[in-house]
Amino acid sequence: MDPILLYDTTLRDGTQGENIAFSADEKLTIAQRLDDIGVHYIEGGWPGSNPRDMHFFDIARRERFNQAKLTAFGATRRADRKAAEDANLNALLKSEAPVLAIFGKTWDLHVEKIMGNRLSANIDMIRDTVLFLKARDREVVYDAEHFFDGYTANRTYALETLQAAVEAGADWVVLCDTNGGSLPHDVEAATQEVAEQLTAWCSETGRAVPGIGIHTHNDSGLALANALASVRAGARMVHGTINGYGERCGNADMTSLIPVLQIKMKHACVAPANLAKLKSLSRFVSETANQVPSNCRPFVGKSAFAHKGGIHVNAIMKEPLAYEHMDPEQVGNRRRVLVSDLSGKSNVEYKAQELGVTLGGNGFDSQVIVNRIKEMEEQGYQFDVADGTFKIMVEKFTEQFKPLFELESFRVAIEKDRDQPCSAHATIKVAVGDSEEITAAEGLGPVSALDNALRKALGRFYPDLDSMRLVDFKVRVIDGREGTEAKVRVLIESRDHDHIWSTIGVSEDIIEASWQALADSFQYKLSKTANSATVIHSDAPDTDRATV
């Protein structure tokens, strides 16, 4: 199959999404990661619109991109001035980007009602802009904004706008579903006609046929489907953003586009070794954007290859293809088996093996554990999100648990002075072997104070605790009908340099529940350190993610 060129616009269109923003330095770091995975075009921003994007191009021009072409984005010339006098176009040239993407109006509604312009004048703006940029020896990508809406409303005019760009020498003509409302069969049909028209126009004039690109938004949940439909009809450049970030409902998601195009449709996009970097790239961009990664994101999400039902787990233990559409390792992901009240013996046996816990082998232990899990989940535990606590629980049930510390007592006090924020103080007494340690510490809250006190108490015995950090803390009321006496579930996520793990606690007292989860987290870390032969398969984050 023909190769597909990937055009990533995370740094421009992606930043138009709500709560998405990157500094110039962050943009550069993301661009380097995009280049590393093999993206062909990286749209860095609109240098004519804001100082930050111009600063990005200032620092990016000093970097070497091995595979990607850096692209600057802008608009056609203004209606009231010549191309050479247009500040936006001159900013594009000043960026020194080798590729320039400019968008023009395709929909007559926008030309006449939004811009207040004449249809013929808009054609001139498109032609003049492309001619101006091509005369400066740049590769030009022409984005036909609102193409599919314009094609539906006034097919003849929409095609005339494309012809103007082609006659002026545009290297690429990109069909944009800007409002995200088109349907795949309409996108495919329109792309097919554009391909035929481009061939006809260029045949008449002896020009080289420009490539066709597709740029889709997800307002109808069809951005991916529309992009694929256009590829079926001849598009050879696909626009998208990492994690689908973008205006309103976002853009076509590159983390789905790339594996579908390459694995499912057999179009060469990136090197197979680079495909395996996809999950890492997704997580990196999420963290840089300060966004929680979506667990259910196809291909790269934490839950994309997670199995909970006992029948499913029994099947994948025999043949993963039974319940997985592809090998998760192809995109850098992994298979996960969840343990819950829906689990059977297969879940427990798979999970125990994954966490390095040896069961009896006769099935008795696993059935006992299944029964106990069901009882504990009835009380409010949720083991499918707490691998650390599950491992400790299994070791206790099979009499393999060796606590590396034991709590003797703790006391937590909260102090509030007038307009000052609350402060917390914790005193803790723990036993490590034959030794006892009593320490006190402060924190921003009771859990923070307990964490600091426990860390201080254990630090003399386990210096490796310096590498452990609590990165997330969630509290949920299990049944609100009991009011302030209701049970709460506390979930703690911790990490060290290499791994991340979750633990859980349940109690009517939020401090008690927090202590359960916190203690399990420390026990899990210490047992991992004490027994380096133990294989930990908790969902490991990328080692280059910033410490929270």
> Which amino acid, residue 254?
M
How far apart, in whole angstroms, are the C-alpha atoms of residue 457 and residue 435? 11
425 and 386 in a common domain:
no
Q: In this predicted structure, what is the pLDDT of residue 423? A: 86
Starting at the edge strand that comes first in sequence, how are the strands of the sheet with 406-415 ordered? Answer: 406-415, 423-432, 435-443
Q: In this predicted structure, what is the pLDDT of residue 418? A: 78
Q: In this predicted structure, what is the pLDDT of residue 394? A: 84
Q: In this predicted structure, what is the pLDDT of residue 340? A: 60
User: For residue 283, which of 541, 17, 86 has the smallest C-alpha distance?
Assistant: 541
Torsions phi, psi for 21 (to 5 deg): -155, 140
203 and 154 in a common domain:
yes
Which three-class secondary structure string do you get for 368-435? HHHHHHHHHHHHCCCHHHCHHHHHHHHHHHCCCCCCCCEEEEEEEEEECCCCCCCEEEEEEEEEECCE
Q: What is the CATH number of the domain that holds 383?
A: 3.30.160.340
Mean per-residue pLDDT of the chain: 89
Count Cβ atoms within 10 A of the Cβ of residue 27 and give its class: 0-12 exposed, 13-18 middle, 19 or more buried.
Answer: buried
Kindly report the length of the chain: 548
The three-state secondary structure class of 335 is coil
Per-residue pLDDT for 347 more than 90?
no
Q: In this predicted structure, what is the pLDDT of residue 145? A: 98
List CB contacts of 524: < 8 A, sequence separation 6 or more: 388, 391, 392, 494, 501, 503
How far apart, in whole angstroms, are the C-alpha atoms of residue 344 and residue 364? 12
Q: What is the pLDDT of residues 461-482, one digit of tens each?
A: 988 888 888 888 888 887 766 6
Per-residue pLDDT for 343 more than 50?
yes
CA distances for 330 relative to 264, 388, 489, 500, angstroms: 12, 27, 35, 22
The secondary structure of 439-466 as a DSSP string is EEEEESSHHHHHHHHHHHHHHTT-GGGG
Question: How many C-beta atoms surround the C-beta of residue 303 within 10 A?
Answer: 16
Per-residue pLDDT for 535 more than 60?
no
Q: Are residues 478 and 520 in contact, defined by beta-carbon separation less than 8 angstroms?
A: no
Q: Which residues constitute the domain of residue 76?
A: 5-270
In sequence order, what are the beta bridge partners of 336? 306
How far apart, in whole angstroms, are the C-alpha atoms of residue 284 and residue 545? 6
394 and 410 in a common domain:
no
Q: What is the pLDDT of residues 54-96, one digit of tens each?
A: 999 999 999 999 999 999 999 999 999 999 999 999 999 999 9
> Which amino acid, residue 331?
V
Q: What is the pLDDT of residues 430-460, one digit of tens each?
A: 999 999 999 999 998 899 999 999 999 998 8
Q: What is the pLDDT of residues 204-236, one digit of tens each?
A: 989 999 999 999 999 999 999 999 999 999 999
How far apart, in whole angstroms, are the C-alpha atoms of residue 357 and residue 343? 17
Q: In this predicted structure, what is the pLDDT of residue 540? A: 39
Report the pLDDT averaged over residues 122-143.
Answer: 98
The DSSP code for 289 is T
82 and 152 in a common domain:
yes
Residue with tokens 């990328």: 542
Is the residue at 318 inside a domain? yes
Is the residue at 446 inside a domain? yes
How far apart, in whole angstroms, are the C-alpha atoms of residue 438 and residue 405? 13
Q: In this predicted structure, what is the pLDDT of residue 381? A: 83
Is the residue at 296 inside a domain? no
In sequence order, what are the beta bridge partners of 429? 409, 438
At 355, the pLDDT band (50, 70, 90 cuts) reads: confident
Residue with tokens 């005019």: 157
How many domains does the chain contain in total? 4
Q: What is the pLDDT of residues 181-198, one digit of tens each?
A: 999 999 999 999 999 999
At 531, the pLDDT band (50, 70, 90 cuts) reads: low
Residue with tokens 């310096």: 466
Q: What is the pLDDT of residues 312-326, one digit of tens each?
A: 877 887 888 999 999
144-167 core/surface letters (b: 16 or more CB in 10 A; e: else): bbbbbbbbeebeebbbbbbbbbbb
Least confident of 86-90, 286-290, 374-378, 409-413: 374-378
The DSSP code for 235 is -
342 and 451 in a common domain:
no
Q: Are residues 484 and 368 in contact, defined by beta-carbon separation less than 8 angstroms?
A: no
Is the residue at 334 inside a domain? yes
Q: What is the pLDDT of residues 241-265, one digit of tens each?
A: 999 999 999 999 999 999 999 999 9
Percent of the chain with pLDDT over 70: 93
For residue 248, how far is the Cα from the chain centroid? 17
Rounded to a whole number, what is the largest CA-CA distance in the chain? 92
Handedness of CA 277, 278, 283, 288 (dihedral sign): positive
CA distances for 69 relative to 101, 177, 215, angstroms: 12, 24, 18
Structure tokens at 469: 């950090």
How far apart, in whole angstroms, are the C-alpha atoms of residue 382 and residue 237? 45
Is the residue at 285 inside a domain? no
Q: In this predicted structure, what is the pLDDT of residue 363? A: 57
Handedness of CA 226, 231, 237, 240 (dihedral sign): positive
- Out of 328, 343, 378, a domain closes at 378
490 and 536 in a common domain:
yes
Per-residue pLDDT for 483 more than 70?
no
Percent of the chain with pLDDT over 90: 66
Is the residue at 287 inside a domain? no
503 and 356 in a common domain:
no
Is the residue at 289 inside a domain? no
Handedness of CA 194, 196, 200, 206 (dihedral sign): positive
150 and 50 in a common domain:
yes
Q: In this predicted structure, what is the pLDDT of residue 261? A: 98
Q: In this predicted structure, what is the pLDDT of residue 467? A: 84
Is the residue at 288 inside a domain? no
221 and 120 in a common domain:
yes
- Out of 270, 298, 319, a domain closes at 270
Instruction: Return the H-helix or E-strand segment holding 139.
Output: strand 139-145
Half-sphere exposure of 238 (CA within 13 A, CB side): 36
140 and 78 in a common domain:
yes
pTM: 0.74
User: For residue 526, which of 459, 479, 437 has the smallest C-alpha distance?
Assistant: 459
234 and 355 in a common domain:
no
- Out of 243, 270, 297, a domain closes at 270
164 and 79 in a common domain:
yes
Q: What is the pLDDT of residues 30-39, one digit of tens each?
A: 999 999 999 9
User: For residue 57, which of 68, 67, 72 has the smallest C-alpha distance?
Assistant: 72
